[in-house]
Amino acid sequence: MRVNPKMTEYEFIEEIDDNFIFDEDREYEEAARAGAAISDNAALMVGYELAKGGSLASKEVNLALLGILAEGRPTPVVLAAVPVVKALLEGQPADAESVGKLLAACKEHTSAWSGLGILLCADESLEPEIDAIMERYRSADGG
């Protein structure tokens, strides 16, 4: 798999969706940097892969990727996703405050699709609210 910051958001997401597996730690780090360089949603897709257990890297590397995302893309929605994903990586439920912050950031965003996926990993009971946000995203996108 090859990822780079010159990919479109769609290309990046297609490349890592259910395929966030690399041979070396530096490749995971490069993918996180590339996602952060592309868009909020691409950075969040890295977070989503981590949240759902899609990475085969060590826990330490996965946690370091969150730092790369936060540093490379310090936007409200990405920063709100970090503590939620961190809790999930540590095998803990995300606290309600962190989930609430991510939900609010996703509501303010126009296309944080992967952030909504992180929310579903954290709390499946949010599905009806997430569906409503997705519908708003689709309406704003014209499709």
For residues 143 and 138, give the distance between their C-alpha atoms in angstroms, rounded to a whole number.
Answer: 5
- Residue 3: pLDDT band with limits 50, 70, 90: confident
Averaged pLDDT, 137-142: 85
**pLDDT at residue 143 tops 60:** no
Among 2-11, 21-30, 88-97, which is the least confidently predicted range? 2-11
| Plot region of 18 (φ>0 → left; ψ -120 to 50 → alpha; else → beta) | left
For residues 109 and 37, give the distance between their C-alpha atoms in angstroms, rounded to a whole number.
Answer: 17
Q: Whole-number mean pLDDT of the chain?
A: 96
pLDDT tens string 42-92: 999 999 999 999 999 999 999 999 999 999 999 999 999 999 999 999 999
